[in-house]
Amino acid sequence: MEILGIMGMQELLVILLLATIVLGPERMVRAAREMGKHARNLKSYFSALSEELKTELEILDEVNQVKSEVEKELNGRK
């Protein structure tokens, strides 16, 4: 199984093993917590960004709808 199409399970295990060797068990736990916090913050940020983008796209759709109605009305008067 690949993560995001980049990294397989074997690569992930090698990275975790190397991180444990380099950081040691105590610092590895702290680093994992920090990475979890950053991942949650990123997820929250992208979720808010997605919601904002949805709202903007809905507004754009409404503007386009009004524009087409105005164009119809103007073309009907000619």
CA distances from 77 to 5, 44, 66 (A): 56, 50, 17
Tokens linked to 1: 């199984």
C-beta of residue 32 within 8 angstroms of C-beta of residue 23: no
Tens-digit pLDDT string for the chain (78 aa): 555 566 678 888 888 889 889 988 889 888 889 989 999 999 999 999 999 999 999 999 999 999 999 999 888 876
Apex 26 CA angle, 21 and 28, nearest 5: 55
Reported pTM: 0.57
Tell me the pLDDT of the chain averaged across its residues: 88
Domain boundaries, the chain: 20-77
Q: What is the DSSP letter of 2?
A: E
C-beta of residue 8 within 8 angstroms of C-beta of residue 1: yes
